[in-house]
Structure 1
Amino acid sequence: MTRTSAIDWDDAYSNAAHIPDGLSYAGRWTAQAAAFREKLLGTKRMRLDIPYGEHERNRYDLFLPESKPKGLAVFVHGGYFIATDKSTWSHLASGALAHGYAVAMPSYVLCPDASIPEITRQVAAAITTAADEIAGPIHLAGHSAGGHLVTRMSTVTTPLDMETAGRIQKTVSISGLHDLRPLRNTKMNELLRLDADTARAESVALLDPMPGTDLSCWVGEDERPEFLRQNALPENLWSSFDVHVSTVEEPTRHHYNIMDGLTDPNHGLVRTLLKL
């Protein structure tokens, strides 16, 4: 009998170590986001730190197009539920803005100060608050852990109210974590504090989707094998439901540069998100 080697789960979810000059990306994103906000200073097209809850991280930024918004796009950041915030990603709003959509970007309380179920409820509160302000269809995008969080909004146990959930026209999970169970095998779980029951209850691939859900799972072809596996799960496991799920593996892209498509109004990622 051939013995299967144990998987190094920490390595499976390690991205910077497998991306050329991977540690430089955080600084690049921060600089690009700051430059984007600088261009909007003094205009009425940017509102920062709008509260949606009591915690200091329960804030979202709202970017507005030049004319009346056609609807609302929401981008939820990743960071394995333990890192980053909204200020790192402002520039990713530019693609949807160019098509006339308002873009909301929330922060949320990170683990271990919040559990993943609590983070899920926070993101729902942020979406609801922004949706109360911006009329029209809602389009959700999230990266990595954010991909999990936006997809979670369209499951039958969504924390969204049905009126807001019914306005969601499209969800794009970018390099999304759709099965949280493997994260229990990583050192990150010292902060995530996932137990078996919570990991199963919050894993979107193991939940039933709401009827009519329109989800695209978008990943870089050069990503870690575990993210390619995670990306394929919803289409495989939701195939028997009344939903539309598509899977995209974008050539030459990895876990970090995959998000660049959101800055280009003509990129397939933006066009898919907005159903153009």
Structure 2
Amino acid sequence: MAVHSGFPGDELTDEELDVAYNVRRKAGPELFDRHMERYRAESGKAVAGLPGTPGVVYDEASGERLDVWGTGDGPRPVFLFVHGGYWMALSRHESAFMARMLHEQGIATVVPDYTLAPRATLEEIVRQVRAAVAWVHRHGRDHGLDPDRIVVGGSSAGGHLTGMTMVGGWQAELGLPADAVKAAMPVSGLFDLRPITRVYVNRTVGLDLDRAAALSPLLLPAERRCPAVVAVAEHDGAGFLEQTRRFGDHWGGGAPLVVPGRDHFDVVLDWTDPGTAMSRALLDLIRSV
């Protein structure tokens, strides 16, 4: 029998929590593989011939790299996209599918890698993503980026990591102003990690309840709440739908953007088309800062 600790959803059995958060199982292996192939194919198509600077080391401590895509004349606003994969899969190479659409709208894209679990702790992964923001702020102008117009977004685990750039208390240590992240768009994110301590992912990320709480954007102070669009797919996992609703309420942005007809994996692929609700929301957000 599970020991309950009081977080929302903790009354569920371990099997029920797995159903709520195991979106790969929900999709099934065939559909999941098709989605991953689309990530790779759409990213390759998006960056083919696009101006930019791939493979830049942004963090000397880890040696991790990022790609800059879609630069043009003068510094451009930048969308920094953090990939998902439950902190233990995927890379920047499958995660640039929005770069051409944004380039055509006068916006650059930055896609960082981060060291995957279990080689890195979740605390270290958070540090690396924040270091990527710091790199854009310090060095972006040299690469055609506007360091005063950084918008961060991410999907799934990348939505969690986006949330960890939205909260306060970390910027000064990296020499950043409190408003370095001007706006954010987490998609199908995890904002309270305490349920993760009881699902299969924790065999890899190894969280206890105290560490999970300390890494939960929903539970952390945010003196400054930057403009944000909090989005989720209509056919997402129940845990992601509930967490998105709760984070939207917490952040004060109103009801989340629920994208009809999409699931946990294909919702972000709407960013390849400027006419979708996802793209319109992102473009409006970037243009507002």
If the length of structure 2 is used for normalisation, what is the TM-score?
0.84
2:152 corresponds to: 140
1:157 corresponds to: 169
Q: Report the Cα offset of residue 159 of structure 1.
A: 4.7
Deviations 1:58-82 (A, max 9, x none): 1000002333243111000000011
| CA distance in structure 1 between the aligned counterparts of 2:137 and 2:102, rounded to whole angstroms | 16
Distance 1:106 1:124, change over 3 A: same
Letter in 1 for 2:262: R
2:43 corresponds to: 33
Which residue among 52, 56, 73 is the counterpart of 1:50? 56
Deviations 1:208-243 (A, max 9, x none): 22324222210011111111001111123344xxxx
CA contact (8 A) 1:73 1:102 kept: yes
Q: Report the Cα offset of residue 99 of structure 1.
A: 1.6
1:10 corresponds to: 18
Matched, 1:172 2:185: yes
| CA distance in structure 1 between the aligned counterparts of 2:63 and 2:263, rounded to whole angstroms | 28
Deviations 1:39-60 (A, max 9, x none): 33xxxx1211100123666100
Distance 1:165 1:50, change over 3 A: farther
| CA distance in structure 2 between the aligned counterparts of 1:162 and 1:250, rounded to whole angstroms | 37
Which residue among 194, 197, 204 is the counterpart of 2:207? 194
**Which consecutive unaligned segments of at least 5 residues does structure 2 have?**
1-10
Q: Please give the residue correspondences for 1:218-233 in structure 2 after superposition, counting only pairs within 5 Å.
A: 218-233=231-246
Q: Report the Cα offset of residue 113 of structure 1.
A: 1.3
1:270 corresponds to: 279
**Which consecutive unaligned segments of at least 5 residues does structure 1 have?**
none
CA RMSD of aligned residues (A): 2.1
Q: Which segment is superposed worse, 126-135 or 221-230?
A: 126-135
Deviations 1:132-159 (A, max 9, x none): 2122311111000111111111212335
| CA distance in structure 1 between the aligned counterparts of 2:126 and 2:254, rounded to whole angstroms | 21
Q: Report the Cα offset of residue 24 of structure 1.
A: 1.8
SS for the counterpart of 2:242 is helix
Q: Which segment is superposed worse, 140-149 or 21-30?
A: 21-30
The number of residues matched between the two structures is 265
| CA distance in structure 2 between the aligned counterparts of 1:88 and 1:266, rounded to whole angstroms | 22
Amino-acid identity (%): 28
Matched, 1:252 2:265: no
SS for the counterpart of 2:76 is coil
2:76 corresponds to: 70
Distance 1:250 1:106, change over 3 A: same
| CA distance in structure 2 between the aligned counterparts of 1:140 and 1:55, rounded to whole angstroms | 22
Distance 1:233 1:162, change over 3 A: farther
| CA distance in structure 2 between the aligned counterparts of 1:11 and 1:93, rounded to whole angstroms | 33
If the length of structure 1 is used for normalisation, what is the TM-score?
0.88
SS for the counterpart of 2:152 is strand
| CA distance in structure 2 between the aligned counterparts of 1:170 and 1:233, rounded to whole angstroms | 19
Q: Report the Cα offset of residue 162 of structure 1.
A: 6.3
Matched, 1:102 2:108: yes
